[in-house]
Amino acid sequence: MIKIAVMEGDGIGPEIIGGAISILESLIEAEFLYVKAGKRYFHETGLPMEENGIQKIKEADALLKGPVATPIRGKTYPSVNLRIRREFNLYANVRPFRSYKGISLREIDTVIVRENTEGLYSGIEEVKGGGEKAVASRVITRDKSERISEYAFKLAEREGRNRVTAIHKRNVLKVSDGLFLESFYRVAEGHPNIVADDAIVDAAAYKLVKVDKAFDVMVTPNLYGDILSDVAAGVVGSLGLCGSAQIGDDFAAFEPIHGTAEDIAGKGIANPLGAVIASSLMLIWLGERDPLLREKGISLRKAVDDLVDRRLALTPDLGGSSTTAEVINTLLKLVS
Ligand code: NAI
């Protein structure tokens, strides 16, 4: 039986992950291993994650997680998300975005493939000059840039997409983004059937908002992908309607792209569809071992799209008045 580690996370995490689990339970036989982590757990125990948390995740075939808070003010702790990415070497952060008529700002059908292990998230920061200067190192390496580019081209081939665009700021960051771009074009030579081009990050953000179907697959260093994902989610219509996969060579974690949304936590109105889309990505990934899971993942995504296209049950972020539970119950009827 498939084993899935589950981290509910903070804020709206338990509400949306609970909804996603009831959908999964209706589709597959799986054992769910709950792992405690995040702000609430930290306040109770002084630890950001339960001591055997990583071990539990290692026993599972994949991880489904909700958003975990990393407080900026007050008592804080090292990011649980970064720890998981490093521990399992989840180097590719993959986020698909598609539009819905009457909900999205414009047409979009784009996958953002973000390098997930280095760049400005390398964790190398220091204070200098007696506290007057702070320096963060942005590490770009050839092998990791080639690895993420290869992943993006293979994804394009697998999904029948025909263009991959590298996102950069080479006009300013000549050396580091220069290396990223050079690595990208080197990898592109091995994929002659896919169009390879590039765009400057700020222009790319503008185009995402301004032009229909501006991009097909985008491959980015770490920070640019993080920011552009939220831009793309805004174009789709809500952060709550987008899911992501973080993929390594032999393990993967799946989560909605949004944060803990403390402003609506506990109100029962959080959009659970990002967490459900993350679950469908998980089933598709697990489908490499069992094709039936892939089929279920694909039909789950179709059911989400059908629900939104037909406006069967929409939470307030999408202009509706349904609760989280109503959305999940409607979806359960569509998938059963
Ligand atoms: P956020 O994504 O939590 O909220 C931004 C806005 O989007 C809020 O108005 C919120 O209500 C709305 N929103 C988000 N998800 C929604 C949903 N499912 N349904 C309806 N509305 C939704 O972003 P914020 O405030 O910047 O982050 C809060 C916390 O989340 C921070 O501590 C941050 O570290 C953490 N975070 C964790 C992530 C993860 O675990 N992967 C990712 C992003 C943020």
Kindly report, residue by residue over 171-200, the tens digit of the pLDDT. 999 999 999 999 999 999 999 999 999 999
pLDDT for the residue 103: 96
State the Cα–Cα distance between residues 222 and 21, nearest whole angstrom: 29
pLDDT for the residue 256: 98
Q: Whose CA is nearest to atom 22 of ligand 1?
A: 240
**115-129 average pLDDT score:** 92
- Which residues partner with 127 through β-bridges? 134
pLDDT for the residue 73: 84
Which atom of ligand 1 is found nearest the CA of 264?
11
Ligand 1 midpoint to CA 260 (Å):
4
Contacts of 306 (CB under 8 A, 6+ apart): 312, 334
Q: Whose CA is nearest to atom 27 of ligand 1?
A: 259
Q: Is the CB of 10 under 6 A from ligand 1?
A: no
Q: Is the CB of 237 under 6 A from ligand 1?
A: no
Q: Is the CB of 273 under 6 A from ligand 1?
A: no
Residue 108 clears pLDDT 90, i.e. is over it? yes
Q: Which two tokens stand for residue 60?
A: 């599972």
Residue 232 clears pLDDT 90, i.e. is over it? yes
Q: Which class in CATH covers the domain with range 105-236? A: alpha beta
pLDDT for the residue 75: 83
Kindly report, residue by residue over 123-145, the tens digit of the pLDDT. 899 999 999 999 999 999 999 99
pLDDT for the residue 72: 86
Which atom of ligand 1 is found nearest the CA of 67?
40
Are 59 and 33 in contact by the 8 Å Cβ rule? The answer is yes
Mean per-residue pLDDT of the chain = 96
Per-domain residue ranges for the chain? 1-94+242-336, 105-236
CATH architecture group of domain 1-94+242-336: 3-Layer(aba) Sandwich (3.40)
pLDDT for the residue 95: 98
Q: Which two tokens stand for residue 247?
A: 């993929």
Sheet of 30-34, strands arranged across: 30-34, 2-7, 62-65, 252-256, 243-247, 92-98, 109-115, 217-220, 163-168, 195-200
Q: Is the CB of 70 under 6 A from ligand 1?
A: yes
| Same-fold call for 1-94+242-336 versus 105-236 | yes
The vertex-218 CA angle with 101 and 247, nearest 5°, equals 100
Cα separation values, 91 from 55, 127, 250, Å: 20, 28, 11
Q: Is the CB of 8 under 6 A from ligand 1?
A: no
Nearest CA to 44 out of 36, 33, 53 is that of 36
Task: Map residue 15 onto helix, strand or coil.
Answer: helix
**20-49 average pLDDT score:** 96
Q: How does residue 45 score in pLDDT terms, banded at 50, 70 and 90? A: very high
Residue of higher predicted confidence among 216 and 1: 216
pLDDT for the residue 76: 86
